[in-house]
Chains A and B, each alone.
Chain A
Amino acid sequence: MEDWRKNKGAFAIFLGPASFWLLLFFVIPLILVWVYSFGERGPQGQTYLALSFENYLRAIEPIHLGIMLKSIWIGAISTAVCLVVGFPVAMGIAFAPSRWKNPLLLIVVLPFFTNLLIRTYAWIAVLRTRGFLNFGLEWVHEKANWLFALAGFPAALGEFVPLELLYNQYAVVIGLVYVHLPFLILPLYATLEKLDRSYLEASLDLGAGQWRTFFSVLVPLVMPGIVSGALLVFILSMGNFLVPDLLGGTDSLMIGNLIAREYGAARDWPFGSALSFMIMYPVFIFFVINAMVARYRTRRRAEV
């Protein structure tokens, strides 16, 4: 790497255009939303600039706070499920013979390249009352009933009642896990791949079992990958708008839906801005901490 002062002209040519675009069409819009979040709503839904914390106070009113806590809760559950589902997959691929790695990764990543909307929509056909899952269950139920009849208990299980799987928070969690799984598997795979296997071999050779090795050696070593993947999944799940919109019901209104409503039908942009910054503040804080930790680590490494 060279110092920017050595060739200021080239530096400006390379960095300038993208910086200009991102400043004008990303940073300034974000600042504008931030400024609006202190504004007031006019009678016709206009936005008046002001310096009021009214919108933030409204955001922590019980009804809105409940939705926010629900978003955090659903986000956390989805992240946990993603970890439980994604960890074995990442491990299986990372420890696979090298000629299998790329095909397996491709299998994991491919669905990720199909449209988010379509991936979410696809679950409607699976989960709805007359969907594939209920058909499968009905078939199992029928066969079980038949078996019971053979054993001399006709109609022991009664009529099949389809489960209400769609339009509730479970459907939202399933959708969020489905949509975000690759975000967890990929960073996890990357750290597992770089992991020095001799630590695991040492642990196994010294008599620790597979489980003990997993929890006392492997998990601490890949913690950075777990944390970065899990945080990304959490942020994206918590702020998701499409999945609860399509798969959720009245019990699973999330902050993303609330923001969309304030910007749409309710037309209260200052409040919507405050709500969207309620998601952004934690994201910012996390990245500042992350950067500080990284700087601290490199400085310590330099000292050593």
Chain B
Amino acid sequence: MSTLPARSMRRRRVRGTNPLEYLKRPWMQLTLLASFVFLYFPIVTLIAFSFNDSRRNITWRGFTWKYYEKAFNNASLHDAFVNSMIVAGTSTLVSTALGAMLGLALYRYRFPWKGTYEGVAHLPIVIPEICMGVAMLVFFNAINMDLSLITITVSHIAFTIPFVAVVIRARMAGFDVSLEEASHDLGASEWQTFWHITFPYMVPGLVAGALMAFVLSLDDFVITFFTAGVGSTTFPIKIYSMLRFSVTPEVNAASTVLIVITLSLTLIAMIMQSRWAKGRQE
């Protein structure tokens, strides 16, 4: 038996690399590269061809901004963008507050049927969006509520709450409970402890959760599709109807605007989180 480990030790030394460093192997690098090409090629070409000076999106004919100008001057696209911002802004405010409280409660309290409660509360994350979309449509129809920006916002709040709760809970997992205990021992009330100790610790999670809720709401198509009425078109819905009609560089330009907004918000959230993580380590 003693020969086996020795042999593999020799083999390891001969290769000169740790056998578990898979990333050093050419086939692994090639696989990763191929996956990244797969992930990026469609989006990069979509963005590139929004600058293409040709109506028929096929070959490169030179750089132009004209489809952006067209998109910006398209009144209905403009309205859709404003609608999207209203919906995303409002739903982010409400869902961040409610989701943060939910996340905090799930982090802090033990209560009967907690597992079931969590299962139901996280259901909006896992069920197919179309099921939630039709459920909201049926509900608003049953209570005789006309579909409008309000119905869209209400639905968006419902499906972003669990996402915010998950983010807050992850943030609270690193919280040192002895801080709260110290605050109590020093005579602070429950309320003072919350506002001066717990809440400041939550803030990075709140920012990350809010940005996530905003991006989710801004990007949502399926649930909005079922809860939008006449005159309450959002940006993704407008893009959908444009591309159903015809695929033009104008659609690419509008898409690129949305990509840039969501990606920059996401990057801001990520950079902030990594800063805070570093700060905590120090």
A-side residues, CB < 8 A to B, are 1-4, 7, 10-11, 13-15, 17-19, 21-22, 25-30, 32-33, 36, 85, 88-89, 91-92, 95-97, 100, 102, 104, 106-108, 110-111, 113-119, 121-126, 130, 132, 135, 178, 181, 197, 200-201, 204-207, 210, 232, 235-236, 238-242, 246, 256, 259-260, 263, 269, 272-273, 276, 279-280, 283, 287, 291, 294-295
Interface size class of B (residues with CB under 8 A): 35 or more
Asked whether, in the complex, the Cβ of A30 is within 8 Å of the Cβ of B135, the reply is: yes
Cα–Cα distance between A28 and B20 once the two chains are bound (Å): 51
CB distance from A249 to the nearest CB of B (A): 15
| Residue B21 at the chain A interface, CB threshold 8 Å | yes
A18-B165, A29-B136, A118-B258 known; A239 vs B128 contact (CB < 8 Å)? yes
* A-B CB contact pairs (8 Å), 21 listed: A11-B111, A14-B101, A18-B121, A26-B132, A30-B135, A33-B131, A89-B31, A95-B23, A97-B23, A113-B262, A115-B221, A116-B221, A116-B222, A124-B243, A125-B45, A135-B58, A181-B39, A232-B126, A263-B226, A279-B131, A287-B119
| Residue B22 at the chain A interface, CB threshold 8 Å | yes
A21-B157, A21-B161, A125-B57 known; A279 vs B128 contact (CB < 8 Å)? yes
Residue of A nearest to B120 (CB): A27
Asked whether, in the complex, the Cβ of B266 is within 8 Å of the Cβ of A113, the reply is: yes
Interchain residue pairs A-B with the least CB separation, the first 10: A239-B128, A122-B42, A29-B139, A18-B102, A29-B135, A14-B105, A4-B111, A18-B98, A15-B105, A25-B158
Residue-by-residue, is B117-149 near A (CB-CB < 8 Å gives 1, otherwise 0)? 001110110111111101111110010000000
CB distance from B144 to the nearest CB of A (A): 13
Neighbouring B residues of A272 by C-beta, 8 Å:
134
Asked whether, in the complex, the Cβ of A119 is within 8 Å of the Cβ of B42, the reply is: yes
A111-B39, A121-B46, A126-B42 known; A91 vs B22 contact (CB < 8 Å)? yes
Asked whether, in the complex, the Cβ of B128 is within 8 Å of the Cβ of A256, the reply is: yes
CB distance from A203 to the nearest CB of B (A): 10
Asked whether, in the complex, the Cβ of A88 is within 8 Å of the Cβ of B266, the reply is: no
| Residue B4 at the chain A interface, CB threshold 8 Å | yes
Residue of B nearest to A6 (CB): B109
Neighbouring B residues of A102 by C-beta, 8 Å:
274
Residue of A nearest to B99 (CB): A18
Asked whether, in the complex, the Cβ of B7 is within 8 Å of the Cβ of A207, the reply is: yes
A111-B39, A121-B255, A122-B46 known; A15 vs B130 contact (CB < 8 Å)? no
| Residue B210 at the chain A interface, CB threshold 8 Å | no
A18-B98, A95-B23 given; name 15 further pairs at CB < 8 Å.
A1-B110, A4-B111, A11-B105, A13-B101, A89-B35, A92-B22, A95-B22, A96-B23, A102-B274, A108-B39, A118-B239, A121-B247, A206-B5, A239-B131, A260-B130
Cα–Cα distance between A130 and B58 once the two chains are bound (Å): 7
Asked whether, in the complex, the Cβ of B158 is within 8 Å of the Cβ of A121, the reply is: no
A11-B111, A15-B105 known; A115 vs B258 contact (CB < 8 Å)? yes
Asked whether, in the complex, the Cβ of A259 is within 8 Å of the Cβ of B130, the reply is: yes
Cα–Cα distance between A17 and B157 once the two chains are bound (Å): 12
Asked whether, in the complex, the Cβ of A18 is within 8 Å of the Cβ of B101, the reply is: yes
Q: Report which residue of B127, B132, B162, B226 has the largest number of chain A beta carbons within 10 angstroms of its beta carbon.
A: B127
| Residue B215 at the chain A interface, CB threshold 8 Å | yes
Cα–Cα distance between A22 and B190 once the two chains are bound (Å): 27
| Residue B154 at the chain A interface, CB threshold 8 Å | yes
| Residue B179 at the chain A interface, CB threshold 8 Å | no
Residue of B nearest to A1 (CB): B110
Neighbouring A residues of B203 by C-beta, 8 Å:
none
Residue of B nearest to A20 (CB): B98
Cα–Cα distance between A232 and B125 once the two chains are bound (Å): 10
Residue of A nearest to B49 (CB): A125
| Residue B199 at the chain A interface, CB threshold 8 Å | no
Cα–Cα distance between A235 and B123 once the two chains are bound (Å): 12
Interface residues of B in 85-103 (CB under 8 A from A): 97-99, 101-102
Neighbour of B158 across the interface among A22, A92, A204, A246, CB < 8 A: A22
Cα–Cα distance between A117 and B4 once the two chains are bound (Å): 55
Asked whether, in the complex, the Cβ of B121 is within 8 Å of the Cβ of A22, the reply is: yes
Asked whether, in the complex, the Cβ of B126 is within 8 Å of the Cβ of A283, the reply is: yes
| Residue B219 at the chain A interface, CB threshold 8 Å | yes
Cα–Cα distance between A232 and B226 once the two chains are bound (Å): 23
Cα–Cα distance between A256 and B270 once the two chains are bound (Å): 33
CB distance from B32 to the nearest CB of A (A): 5
Cα–Cα distance between A295 and B116 once the two chains are bound (Å): 11
Residue of A nearest to B31 (CB): A88
Neighbouring A residues of B31 by C-beta, 8 Å:
88-89, 92
Cα–Cα distance between A151 and B82 once the two chains are bound (Å): 62
Cα–Cα distance between A7 and B184 once the two chains are bound (Å): 14
| Residue B8 at the chain A interface, CB threshold 8 Å | yes
Neighbouring A residues of B137 by C-beta, 8 Å:
263
Neighbour of A200 across the interface among B20, B130, B138, B259, CB < 8 A: B20
Neighbouring B residues of A263 by C-beta, 8 Å:
134, 137, 226
Neighbouring B residues of A17 by C-beta, 8 Å:
97-98, 101
Neighbouring B residues of A106 by C-beta, 8 Å:
270
| Residue B115 at the chain A interface, CB threshold 8 Å | yes
